[in-house]
Amino acid sequence: MNAGSQEAAAGQEAYGQEMYSLVERLYPLCRSITGDGVRETLRIVDEYVPLDVHEVPTGTQVLDWTVPREWNIRDAYVADATGRRVVDFRESSLHVLGYSVPVAARMPLSELRGHLHTLPDHPSWVPYRTSYYTPTWGFCLAQDTLDALEEGEYEVRIDSTLADGHLTYAEHVVPGQVPDEVIVSCHVCHPSLANDNLAGIAVAVFLARELARRKPWFTYRFIFAPGTVGAITWLARNRERVDRVKHGLVLACAGDPGQLTYKRSRRGDAGIDRVLRHVLSASGRPHRITGFTPYGYDERQYCSPGFDLGVGSLTRTPYAGYPEYHTSADDLDFVSPAAMADTLAVCREAFAVLDRDRHYVNLSPYGEPQLGRRGLYGSLGGRSDAEQAQMAMLWVLSLADGEHSLLDVAERAGLPFDTVADAADALHGAGLLKA
Amino acid sequence: MNAGSQEAAAGQEAYGQEMYSLVERLYPLCRSITGDGVRETLRIVDEYVPLDVHEVPTGTQVLDWTVPREWNIRDAYVADATGRRVVDFRESSLHVLGYSVPVAARMPLSELRGHLHTLPDHPSWVPYRTSYYTPTWGFCLAQDTLDALEEGEYEVRIDSTLADGHLTYAEHVVPGQVPDEVIVSCHVCHPSLANDNLAGIAVAVFLARELARRKPWFTYRFIFAPGTVGAITWLARNRERVDRVKHGLVLACAGDPGQLTYKRSRRGDAGIDRVLRHVLSASGRPHRITGFTPYGYDERQYCSPGFDLGVGSLTRTPYAGYPEYHTSADDLDFVSPAAMADTLAVCREAFAVLDRDRHYVNLSPYGEPQLGRRGLYGSLGGRSDAEQAQMAMLWVLSLADGEHSLLDVAERAGLPFDTVADAADALHGAGLLKA
Amino acid sequence: MNAGSQEAAAGQEAYGQEMYSLVERLYPLCRSITGDGVRETLRIVDEYVPLDVHEVPTGTQVLDWTVPREWNIRDAYVADATGRRVVDFRESSLHVLGYSVPVAARMPLSELRGHLHTLPDHPSWVPYRTSYYTPTWGFCLAQDTLDALEEGEYEVRIDSTLADGHLTYAEHVVPGQVPDEVIVSCHVCHPSLANDNLAGIAVAVFLARELARRKPWFTYRFIFAPGTVGAITWLARNRERVDRVKHGLVLACAGDPGQLTYKRSRRGDAGIDRVLRHVLSASGRPHRITGFTPYGYDERQYCSPGFDLGVGSLTRTPYAGYPEYHTSADDLDFVSPAAMADTLAVCREAFAVLDRDRHYVNLSPYGEPQLGRRGLYGSLGGRSDAEQAQMAMLWVLSLADGEHSLLDVAERAGLPFDTVADAADALHGAGLLKA
């Protein structure tokens, strides 16, 4: 992946625009944990990378959960006495409480208020609210809109269905040289929120496309699933596969202007944790690394103690860390091509390391092997790099005891990872190492 | 113990006065490692909490030691030529060297000097000295008193007996729900010294009374024994019980004005060490935590490498850390009701945590269990506490792998211990955890 | 070794002079990885400590290497048209490229330049260069000398032989009470360089003489061998002995004015690492401790992962850390008797600790053993030392569980190592410890 990663970097700016365009296409759709909004989202993603779409029937037992009824919505509004829609689902998918049961009624504002959700601290923003497991209905609107409503009768209509159907999720696999897998997981259940998580979906899509153009070591599996119950459904249906998952990354909030944040896996020192720490630090980017918490995105499920996978989470500003979170202000202006391109670049760099990181064993561990007669002195790089390449070979030989990975070697030696990996390739080629 | 601990806190001030009154009653008695002073001390303590008193005959082999002869004393003085008592045991039990053999003689001051102990740096204070295993006699007095003595003949009289008898110690047990034990140990061998260790005895007594009013998880065993040989005697006679001792605390110097000091067990990371660190830190009290040293009080014996119990030591100013230590200045003015009440409060808080701390195993560890259908969302606490309670449940579920105790969870999550323990109770009640 | 170490310290100044004299004698010889220069060096060292000299034939397989042909040189020069030697091996052994093949030719300066090595940044210094495994010839000279040469024809002559012969190394053994060994290793392949490594050889020789006057616990084996291939040869011929090597030290650059530097073994926490850290810190000397790197001196071979011996390296200014390194400026003015005496003193102190460090087991681990009846209270040292000696005994008893060495005890207790070792001797003598 190394030579290609430079080519990829060159296309970073163009990728930013393409990712932004994808976000724009997905933005208007009304997604939820089930329903046609998810299907249409996956249909669009499939134009970029081919997807295997899975439909799991309502009522299916998935781990401790049950696949819920499918929710679909065609229209929803609150109209005043003149018939004017004062709250209109056609303007924004956020205006309806997610999973609202159908309703068609007239009622005074005083009664309606109990079904209206606003953000008094941000009176012009519309909040995002759901009620998946308690049957009810509601509308979300700006406090300013609410304040402008006059008392009196209103027509209330939610043209939704909540019925047996399916939960929909999709996978895209980039085959590798080994069946060991790296998973990249995005939630696809949020309606018109750009950063959370359309930017994450877009970065995942373009990451998959880049990987597909290479022949990576690991098999990379991209999972596009509704949050919580979707990840739980994937885990329930892939319990035998979980043993093959060596690393994973949950991508979300990938496009806001904040600095990058990596949240460690529950293990705290899994391979992905070490790689992200190394890459973020080596890149010189301002960033933050936080410990695992059992809250946030679907790392909660992948890292639940029974699975305890080495899955971390990469975001820019993390979960609930910005005022626009779960509001209408998480819109197309809140995310940028440059921020998504930067998130993609870090993923690319991290997976480049992850993909080359190995545990080698020195086959000539008693004393130093004589590198000169094997043509390994000064054989790598230009004159100024020769000394570093030679040190890298000595470090790899010294630490290739099966306990230290190449990333361990790079960090212990204070050498760039690629220099160490190149040295290992040369030593491996000379028969001095086995994997 | 939780609800009760608030009620207990309310009574803290009253307890301080009651503890001080007990110290006042015990202060005049001449205690030593054997003899009637210890018996009378235990008789008074028995008025507060019922004691099992054990009498172990002189000559009994206890571990590497032998129970010594019993020492009793009725009177002792140095009188001048006029018959005036210039040093008088009736004034203070400190005036006689502990375990002095009997003597009745007349001698010049020049000869007597070899038997007189003073503190030249604190000329008005009387030192506390003993000679348990080298038979000799002596008097302790103020340097000022000595300086005022004229040369000439003095009458010297120590009316003591050193004879086969018994070593006396006592136990008080607060039964718990499990036979696993927590021991609380105090030395009862020091004569008229208020901080070292009458304050420790008083705190232990009131701690026992509080525990007795609850139904604690652990069985709490209070040991009142002479220092060193008494603790060794208890260990020698309870070798089969030692396996049941999960935690322990040696209480001493519990009433001086200094800040609290916790000295870790030899293990350094025993449960009691972690609990005291947590409670002292969470309480905001100024305090000090020190590493184990094989010196001090009877933690030396409980933590000897053959036993290596998880027993720490709680004091205010520690062993030998104040000038009044082992002098007549460690008197009733040196200790206060408030300081003893504060020591008692920390013990109460620590044992409240210790008693609820458990290692649970998540019975639904694959993905998150669905808390909503079990009524566990928002089921605990008021509205403002609901979010913290929910986070506590997620943290407990995440870390309930048998490796992490509830205290580990609380510290990792940054949540109050009680919140975490309440969450664990709720999850346990819902069948999601096993102990 | 304790009492003797004070006597030894007294002779430190005298030793400094004697070591310097040895350096002066060895300085003119032309050493390389084989040949008569090494033999003559070992013959002189043998005058100080008796050596077992080993001759290993050319072509012998040693681990991954093969013993090379033997190189000897009688004369070498570059002469100008008048016959004047402008570069003359008789002036300094550095003037010829080590392992130069023979040459006798006339050539213009323009052609000769490709065989001349200088240090443009230090125009008055002659560099040290070798070409062991690529057959070529060359001269090393000052840039100033080169700049003064006029164009024209020069006579070039190197009267060397490169032929089947032997690699020569030597050992000196100081027998100990146990067959477990400590190795001290010096490279003897560098020509006229005083610090690198004649000072190291001199310190090793006098360290061996001091040890020989004692009856040390460990068997100390001093290895004088050419760098890299010499150490590899020793390892190849002593593979069964390696299991007996418990500790080791590579000595080099032992006489320059810089502060001491200890480079840890690959293990990082081997016994020798802990001892050097302790001794350097306790001595109050300014010093530096660095992590292992797979470069430097023969610790590279002893610490190769197949052997992974507990061998560190002691230098003053380390490998390549001073401008005079591998140049004619590493001469007799660059090293001093005082610096060598200081290096020797640290070796002495370190081996005094290493030699007494033990893992004991407390035979009376249940409660404290009664020290008084064994006469162990106040039995050691003067009155002011008695309390420290008693604390040392309690610490040894507390930590003598087979897991903690006496050095562990000293560091944990904050007591001088000798006090702790004396306490252990007393307890061992009383039957309270077993080794």
Which residues, 6+ apart, have CB-to-CB distance to B98 below 8 Å? B32, B71, B128, B129, B130, B131, B132, B191
Of all residues in chain A, the one with the smallest CA distance to C235 is A367
* A195-240: pLDDT as tens digits: 999 999 999 999 999 999 989 999 999 999 999 999 999 999 999 9
Tell me the chain A residues in contact with residue B398 when contact means C-beta distances shorter than 8 Å: 266, 292, 294, 303-305
Alpha carbon separation from A201 to A39, A166, A205, A223, B338 (Å, rounded): 14, 21, 6, 10, 62
* Cβ <8 Å between C365 and B306: yes
Closest partner residue to C372 among B133, B300, B306, by Cβ? B133
Subunits in contact with chain C (3 or more CB pairs closer than 8 Å): A, B
In the structure encoding, which two tokens stand for residue A144, read together? 């300013």
Binding-site residues on chain A for chain C (CB distance < 8 A): 362, 364-370, 372-373, 391, 394-395, 397-401, 412-413
Q: In this model, does residue B397 exceed pLDDT 80?
A: yes
Subunits in contact with chain B (3 or more CB pairs closer than 8 Å): A, C
Nearest CA-CA distance, residue C318 and chain B, Å: 37
pLDDT, mean of residues A87-99: 97
Short-list C318, C331, C315, C328, CA closest to C23:
C331
The runs of H, that is alpha helices, within B167-325 are 200-212, 229-237, 271-283, 299-302
Write the burial class of residue A152 (CB in 10 Å: 0-12 exposed, 13-18 middle, 19+ buried): exposed
Q: Rounded to an integer, what distance in angstroms lies between the CA atom of residue C260 and that of residue A66?
A: 69
pLDDT at A1: 40
**Which DSSP category does A96 fall into?**
B
Query: Phi-psi region for residue C132, left (φ > 0), alpha (ψ -120 to 50) or beta?
Result: alpha
* Cβ <8 Å between B306 and C373: no
**Which DSSP category does A161 fall into?**
E
Nearest CA-CA distance, residue B311 and chain C, Å: 13
Is the Cβ–Cβ distance between C167 and C70 less than 8 Å?
Answer: yes
The runs of H, that is alpha helices, within B103-213 are 109-112, 143-148, 200-212
Alpha carbon separation from A318 to A204, A287, A406, B298, B415 (Å, rounded): 17, 11, 30, 52, 21
Which residues, 6+ apart, have CB-to-CB distance to A228 below 8 Å? A33, A298, A300, A301, B368
* Cβ <8 Å between A231 and B367: yes
* Cβ <8 Å between B395 and A228: no
Residue A375 CB neighbour total at 10 angstroms: 10
Give SS3 for B265: coil
Q: In this model, does residue B165 exceed pLDDT 50?
A: yes
Which residues, 6+ apart, have CB-to-CB distance to B347 below 8 Å? B203, B207, B249, B251, B314
Residue B419 CB neighbour total at 10 angstroms: 20
Closest partner residue to A394 among C63, C65, C295, by Cβ? C295
DSSP string across A361-408: EESS-SS----GGGT-TT-SS-HHHHHHHHHHHHHHHHHTEEEEEHHH
Give SS3 for C337: helix
Is the Cβ–Cβ distance between C264 and C291 less than 8 Å?
Answer: yes
Is the Cβ–Cβ distance between A326 and A127 less than 8 Å?
Answer: yes
- Greatest Cα pair distance, chain C, in angstroms, is 94
In the structure encoding, which two tokens stand for residue A238, read together? 């892939």
Residue C378 CB neighbour total at 10 angstroms: 15
Is the Cβ–Cβ distance between C196 and C325 less than 8 Å?
Answer: yes
* A328-363: pLDDT as tens digits: 999 999 999 999 999 999 999 999 999 999 999 999
Q: In this model, does residue B1 exceed pLDDT 50?
A: no
Closest partner residue to C366 among B292, B295, B304, by Cβ? B304
pLDDT at C3: 46
Nearest CA-CA distance, residue A275 and chain C, Å: 23
Q: In this model, does residue B329 exceed pLDDT 90?
A: yes
CB pairs under 8 A between B and C: 60
In whole angstroms, how large is the CA radius of gyration of chain C?
25
* Cβ <8 Å between C397 and B228: no
Q: Rounded to an integer, what distance in angstroms lies between the CA atom of residue A46 and that of residue A43?
A: 5
pLDDT at C14: 86
Is the Cβ–Cβ distance between A97 and A129 less than 8 Å?
Answer: yes
The runs of H, that is alpha helices, within C121-249 are 143-148, 200-212, 229-237
The runs of H, that is alpha helices, within C263-327 are 271-283, 299-302
DSSP string across B45-108: HHHHS--EEEEEETT-EETTEE---EEEEEEEEEE-TTS-EEEETTT-GGGB-BTPPPEEEEEE
pLDDT at B383: 56
Give SS3 for C294: coil
Which amino acid is located at C259 in the chain?
A: Q
Residue A29 CB neighbour total at 10 angstroms: 18
Nearest CA-CA distance, residue B345 and chain C, Å: 30
pLDDT in tens, chain C (435 residues): 444 455 555 567 789 999 999 999 999 999 999 999 999 999 999 999 999 999 999 999 999 999 999 999 999 999 999 999 999 999 999 999 999 999 999 999 999 999 999 999 999 999 999 999 999 999 999 999 999 999 999 999 999 999 999 999 999 999 999 999 999 999 999 999 999 999 999 999 999 999 999 899 999 999 999 999 999 999 999 999 999 999 999 999 999 999 999 999 999 999 999 999 999 999 999 999 999 999 999 999 999 999 999 999 999 999 999 999 999 999 999 999 999 999 999 999 999 999 999 999 999 999 999 999 998 976 554 455 888 999 999 999 999 999 999 999 999 999 999 999 999 999 999 999 999
CB burial string A228-239: b at 16+ within 10 A, e below: bbbbbbbbbebe
Closest partner residue to C367 among B63, B133, B134, by Cβ? B63
Q: Rounded to an integer, what distance in angstroms lies between the CA atom of residue B26 and that of residue B41?
A: 6
Is the Cβ–Cβ distance between A211 and A64 less than 8 Å?
Answer: no
Write the burial class of residue A2 (CB in 10 Å: 0-12 exposed, 13-18 middle, 19+ buried): middle
Residue of A62, A63, A64, A290 to mutate for B, most B C-beta atoms under 10 A: A64
Give SS3 for C144: helix
Q: Rounded to an integer, what distance in angstroms lies between the CA atom of residue A148 and that of residue A151?
A: 10
pLDDT-wise least confident of A100-104, A374-378, C106-110: A374-378
The runs of H, that is alpha helices, within B149-224 are 200-212
The runs of H, that is alpha helices, within C243-288 are 271-283
* A179-205: pLDDT as tens digits: 999 999 999 999 999 999 999 999 999
CA angle (C358, C359, C364) in 5-degree steps: 125
Of all residues in chain A, the one with the smallest CA distance to C67 is A370
Q: Rounded to an integer, what distance in angstroms lies between the CA atom of residue A66 and that of residue B16?
A: 58
Q: In this model, does residue B378 exceed pLDDT 80?
A: no
Q: Rounded to an integer, what distance in angstroms lies between the CA atom of residue A431 and that of residue A375?
A: 13
Write the burial class of residue C14 (CB in 10 Å: 0-12 exposed, 13-18 middle, 19+ buried): exposed
Closest partner residue to A367 among C235, C291, C295, by Cβ? C235
Of all residues in chain C, the one with the smallest CA distance to A404 is C305
Nearest CA-CA distance, residue C237 and chain A, Å: 12
